[in-house]
Amino acid sequence: MSPVGRISLVLAAAVLGGVGAANAGEGSWLSGDWYLTVGATGMVAPNFEGGKKYLLSASPIISLGKAGPAARFVSRNDNISLALVDDGGVRAGLTGKFLFSRDDGNADELKGLDPVRWGGEVGGFFEFYPTDWLRARAELRHGIRAHNGFVADIAADAFYDVTPTVRISGGPRVSFASANYFDAYYGVDAQEAVASGLSEYHPGGGLKSTGLGGAITWKVTEPMTASLFGEYSRLMGPAADSSLVKERGDRNQFTIGVSTTYRFDFTM
């Protein structure tokens, strides 16, 4: 079984098992205290995944879930989330990600390649705290419209409160993807090779990237936070072997940016 397949089974079992445990409890799952976190991120990042030129962009931050008994760690890498299980130490539920379209209007390096349509990814997430200062999180998502593949992201973040309002955090990241994902973003068929001048390339599935990330987070007020973050990832496997990356891009991907969020608490 492929790495993405193994991650799929483990993550699905964790989410379904947690949901079953929650439903076995007394009372309605909807009742209780909830939170909604909204915000935005502005960043300087490659003009496309695998690109070597950089531009300024922005993206939303949304997270919805039941309030747990203890404060949680939140990373800017966390995609839109709906927690179905949250007991403070373990959190699991649904996740989603919006994907922007990609075509030769984004970068000259993409001329001659088929455009990637806008779309999204939906799936599940599972996270836990092996210690009071470390969180591990995994997401498995399936593409909708933009691609028809699977993407699995795994991250671990150690965090430390320098002051009651300032926190530093960071840790490793690793990502896997299926052949359908790589084909959409890194594949070059015979027709595209003629139109673009790139070498023909038909990727399989496997390891997508490894890297490190870190952030400094400031708790401006009780519901409002702001952060400065930086990320480095190195494309691996089918992504690194793509002619798009080898001939016109860069395996090394850097991101730096700022974000702000606001949390709304309510009761159902």
Containing H/E element for 4? helix 3-24
Mean per-residue pLDDT of the chain: 87
Pick the CATH number of 3-26+33-267 from 3.90.25, 2.40.50, 2.60.40, 2.40.230: 2.40.230
Report the pLDDT value the prediction gives residue 60, as an integer from 0 to 100: 80
Instruction: Find residue 140's DSSP bridge partners.
Output: 124, 152
Q: With 50 as the cut, is the pLDDT of residue 10 above it?
A: no
CB-based contact 47:53 (threshold 8 Å): yes
Tens of pLDDT, residue by residue over 123-167, are 999 999 999 999 999 999 999 999 999 999 999 999 999 999 999
Report the pLDDT value the prediction gives residue 28, as an integer from 0 to 100: 66
Report the pLDDT value the prediction gives residue 114, as an integer from 0 to 100: 96
Q: With 90 as the cut, is the pLDDT of residue 33 above it?
A: no
63 vs 49, which has greater pLDDT?
49
Tens of pLDDT, residue by residue over 81-121, are 888 888 878 999 999 999 999 998 888 999 999 999 999 99
Q: Alpha-carbon dihedral of residues 161, 59, 254, 150, nearest 10 degrees?
A: 100
**pTM recorded for the entire structure:** 0.82
245 vs 11, which has greater pLDDT?
245
Of 10-14, 192-196, 231-235, 258-262, the poorest mean pLDDT is in 10-14
Residues with Cβ within 8 Å of residue 204, at least 6 apart in sequence: 179, 182, 238
> Residue 240's pLDDT band (boundaries 50, 70, 90)?
very high
Measure the CA–CA gap between 177 and 100, rounded to whole angstroms: 18
> Residue 17's pLDDT band (boundaries 50, 70, 90)?
very low
| Residue type at 185 in one-letter notation | Y
Report the pLDDT value the prediction gives residue 20, as an integer from 0 to 100: 47
Report the pLDDT value the prediction gives residue 162, as an integer from 0 to 100: 97
Q: With 60 as the cut, is the pLDDT of residue 1 above it?
A: no
> What average pLDDT does the segment 30-46 reach?
86
Q: Is 86 helix (H, G, I), strand (E, B) or coil?
A: strand
Which class for 93: exposed (0-12), middle (13-18), buried (19 or more C-beta within 10 A)?
buried
Residues with Cβ within 8 Å of residue 249, at least 6 apart in sequence: 50, 51, 52, 109, 242
